A and B are shown apart, each in its own frame.
Chain A
Amino acid sequence: DTEVTQTPKHLVMGMTNKKSLKCEQHMGHRAMYWYKQKAKKPPELMFVYSYEKLSINESVPSRFSPECPNSSLLNLHLHALQPEDSALYLCASRPYPLSEKLFFGSGTQLSVL
């Protein structure tokens, strides 16, 4: 299994909703990442987990809350989002520290109404 699986593929939520994005990999990778990508822009780093511990938070607003419950699973909990948070949310994993290569999922397309 060489895939990073993200669910759901599409999500529409209101500004008062609470929702979660899920990312799963079964490659034994010990670094996992969340990126945000607006249309026609490059991905922007949000969070990095190393060995299931949060190692990097790129000053992301607290309405985004990451969680890494085990080495295969990464969640992004969403609460009280704004319309400008609408974007493609990408998850990636890396066989840290053995390899440089990042493996990306196909992303969750989020629309906040």
Chain B
Amino acid sequence: DAKTTQPNSMESNEEEPVHLPCNHSTISGTDYIHWYRQLPSQGPEYVIHGLTSNVNNRMASLAIAEDRKSSTLILHRATLRDAAVYYCILRDNFNKFYFGSGTKLNVKP
């Protein structure tokens, strides 16, 4: 089973960029890297995904290391609404999505 490692918590100031790291040293060549976030009492919400190249969307950017053993989720300007638990996930060949332990992001005004 693919596994990811994330810091337990991080803190950011409002309107500053946030870089959330994830290690996935046992990733296989066909595993996709996903990021989801979860607010209290809600289901996880899709943020972004990628395979090899860096990705941008309206919510965030995903930077993937050249050896694919790590990745970083970048929130360009954190807002109070971005406070959540962020999960780094690997999707394997069998359609399984395995969640990492998650990083709780606190955004200070």
Contact = CB atoms under 8 A, between A and B. Distances in A.
B95 A55 contact: yes
Given A43-B44, A106-B41, A55 B94 contact: yes
Contacts of A55: 94-95
Contact of A105 (B32, B43, B94): B43
Contacts, number: 53
Interface residues of B, number: 21
A92 B43 contact: yes
27 contacts: A33-B97, A42-B99, A42-B100, A42-B101, A42-B102, A43-B44, A43-B87, A44-B99, A45-B98, A48-B96, A55-B94, A56-B94, A90-B43, A90-B44, A94-B95, A96-B95, A100-B32, A101-B49, A102-B36, A102-B44, A104-B43, A104-B44, A104-B45, A106-B41, A106-B43, A107-B42, A107-B43
Given A48-B96, A104-B43, A106-B42, 8 more contacts: A42-B99, A43-B44, A43-B87, A45-B97, A48-B95, A56-B96, A101-B49, A102-B46
The 9 closest A-B pairs by CB, nearest first: A104-B43, A42-B99, A100-B49, A101-B46, A104-B44, A106-B43, A43-B99, A90-B43, A42-B102
Interface of A: 4, 31, 33, 41-45, 48, 50, 55-56, 90, 92, 94, 96, 100-107
